[in-house]
Amino acid sequence: MIDFKDIIAKEIYDEAMGLSTDEIRDLIEIPGDEKMGDYAFPCFRLAKALRKAPQMIAADIAGRISGNDAFENVENVNAYVNFFINRAFFAGQVIDEVEEKGSEYGRSDVGAGRKVIVEYSSPNIAKPFHIGHIRSTVIGNAIYKLYDAVGFDVIRINHLGDYGTQFGKMIVAFRKWGSEEELAKDPIKTLLGYYTKFHQEAKKDPSLEDEAREAFVRLEAGEPEETALWKKFRELSLAEFNRVYDMLGITFDSYAGESFYSDKMPRFIKELKDKGLLIESQGAQIVDLEKYGMSPAMITKSDGSSLYVTRDIAAAVYRKETYDFYKCIYVVASQQNLHFRQWKQVLELMGYTWQKDCIHVPFGLVSLSDGDDIKMMSTREGTVVFLEDVLNTAVEKTADIMKEKNAQGIDIDEVSKEVGIGAVIFQELSNNRIKDYTFSWDKVLNFDGETGPYVQYTHARASSVLRNASEEEMAALRSADIDWSYLESDSAYTLVKLLYRVPEIVLEAAEKYEPSIVTRHLVDIAQAFNKFYHDEHILVDNRDEKLAKLALVLASKTVIANCLGLLGIKAPERM
């Protein structure tokens, strides 16, 4: 893609200035007021080297820069040189590149040759896959897609919560109250019922807690009966989870959860001991982190069973030794900030300097519109909102809206899935990830606001315009010389500028682990396209004008589809 800052820096460069082209480029600004140009160069730093007033230097530069097709006008205002892009030239450059790259537009090879791991979703087996899990799942999936788009070799890991004392509780509950028949009918809801009952009964009989701890110790020791039950719970849970992942269009390269590292932990417990980092505290083994302003990191409980920190140490070292990652990204709620600080500090004390490349990407909480905070939901009490139910409801509500609008010639079942599920994903990714937000059906399924359905409808609108063009005209878009002077209007120029920025936006979103940067830019593109659509008559009689405008419509459609794809959302041709 043409780089206007690069062009400007090379045009301005003069050896007498004492600045390199890179230094000049860094000084180039984008004016807040478009009337002052698309780019501006301040001349203050040149005054000493050139022994002239900045205003005179600006006048000299503006005077000698002429005849470059990239700029319509170059003028000086006081100590600034202002550059106005040639709109027709710009439109042609951008649209040609979108047409040439197609579905690859926006992608780059910045990360070529480097591996990145993204750990996300990571629900607990034998527990509901509830609405609270959606944030890690879709934010993580978008971060994976962003890093893939900028050229990294990305490994997607679903670090299942498939170990810990909770499974001792589940084993005890199933033995006391379980039914194979009930389990086969509805595994997760049945297991949730057992888990809830365990906690209800444990309030009356605290000895059940001891029984559960003993069951987990036997599981860690590989006892056949406990292991067989645990495997059954894991397999049934994965089948349930995969149904939801299929709805979301999400896949993983690895489902290696906490249990995968159970036989790897003794190595690190020994290492911590050998390095003098372990301290006994009331029978438990801890690493004292008081000097780092944190509570102790517990490595093993008094009964010898492992904890999250121990398993995460084993997982991190295994991943480094297996993949030699450039970054290992953990998409986990902000509630776990302390855990990640403790864990990284322990890794550093152990001498693993690459711990700095382990990045915790936190996110805020989601609550329901009726005020029921998701974090207050409890699998112990059985009060959860299943994610699958939310997605199915979104599809049903979308189908109802489409039927009310008398959608003709549309596969309502298929499109309602794409739009309904896309709406839920878009809502999740439209907020800055660190902020808490409230889930609202009215906002999620709004076809007019800054929502997924609005962007998808814009894509469908562009598709409709192109369907109304003739085959000859569509063929000509790829073969004819287009007269880009028909795209000099403000609405066309605004749209072209937004399409131009997409590669930069994708890279910024990846570097900041922030999919909402893409989402917000996508809304801007959709709004700009709809303004262009309303301001300009596209299918005009003048063939040259029509071809130029159709080319911009096609480029917009391509870019919207590409950006939706980065968010894990489909782009319907009809709505």
Write down the pLDDT at residue 25. 95
Active site residue 159: no
| DSSP one-letter code for 507 | H
Angle formed by the axes of helices 452-467 and 412-430, to 10°? Answer: 130
- In this structure, how many other beta carbons lie within 10 angstroms of the beta carbon of residue 351? 9
Those residues whose C-beta lies under 8 Å from the C-beta of residue 563, and which sit 6 or more positions away, are 106, 502, 518, 521, 522, 525
Beta bridge mates, 153: 115
Top mean pLDDT of 31-35, 262-266, 510-514 is at: 510-514
Write down the pLDDT at residue 211. 94
Cβ pair 366, 436 in contact under 8 A: yes
Write down the pLDDT at residue 375. 41
- In this structure, how many other beta carbons lie within 10 angstroms of the beta carbon of residue 470? 10
Checking if the pLDDT of 380 tops 60, the result is no
Write down the pLDDT at residue 95. 97
Write down the pLDDT at residue 302. 84
Active site residue 127: yes
Catalytic choice (5, 48, 115, 133): 133
* Segment 372-384 mean pLDDT: 46
| Confidence bin at 125 (pLDDT 50/70/90) | confident
Write down the pLDDT at residue 370. 56
Checking if the pLDDT of 371 tops 50, the result is no
Q: If you average pLDDT over every residue of the chain, what do you get? A: 92
Greater confidence, 167 or 341? 341
Alpha carbons 237 and 259: distance in angstroms, whole number: 14
Active site residue 356: no
Write down the pLDDT at residue 376. 39
Write down the pLDDT at residue 99. 96
Write down the pLDDT at residue 383. 52
Alpha carbons 500 and 265: distance in angstroms, whole number: 50
Checking if the pLDDT of 197 tops 70, the result is yes
Compute CA 177 distance to the chain's CA centroid, rounded to the nearest angstrom.
42
Write down the pLDDT at residue 369. 62
| Confidence bin at 166 (pLDDT 50/70/90) | confident
Alpha carbons 397 and 175: distance in angstroms, whole number: 41
Cβ-count burial of 370 within 10 angstroms (0-12 exposed, 13-18 middle, 19+ buried)? Answer: exposed
Handedness of CA 13, 47, 29, 90 (dihedral sign): negative
Catalytic choice (5, 115, 127, 570): 127
- pLDDT (tens digit per residue) in 271-290: 999 999 999 998 899 999 99
- In this structure, how many other beta carbons lie within 10 angstroms of the beta carbon of residue 543? 13
- pLDDT (tens digit per residue) in 448-463: 889 999 999 999 999 9
Checking if the pLDDT of 372 tops 60, the result is no
Write down the pLDDT at residue 248. 97
- pLDDT (tens digit per residue) in 63-88: 888 778 889 999 999 999 999 999 99
Checking if the pLDDT of 238 tops 60, the result is yes
Inter-CA distances, 184 with 47, 230, 231, 294, 508, Å? 81, 15, 14, 45, 47
| Confidence bin at 437 (pLDDT 50/70/90) | confident
Alpha carbons 370 and 490: distance in angstroms, whole number: 43
- pLDDT (tens digit per residue) in 242-277: 999 999 999 999 999 998 998 899 999 999 999 999
* Segment 166-191 mean pLDDT: 90
Compute CA 242 distance to the chain's CA centroid, rounded to the nearest angstrom.
20
Checking if the pLDDT of 192 tops 60, the result is yes
Domains in the chain with CATH codes: 4-85 (3.30.1360.70), 387-566 (1.10.730.10)
Cβ pair 540, 474 in contact under 8 A: no
Catalytic choice (5, 115, 130, 344): 130
Question: Is 0.75 surpassed by the pTM of this model?
Answer: yes
Alpha carbons 525 and 502: distance in angstroms, whole number: 10
Q: 123 — alpha (psi -120 to 50), left (phi > 0) or beta?
A: beta
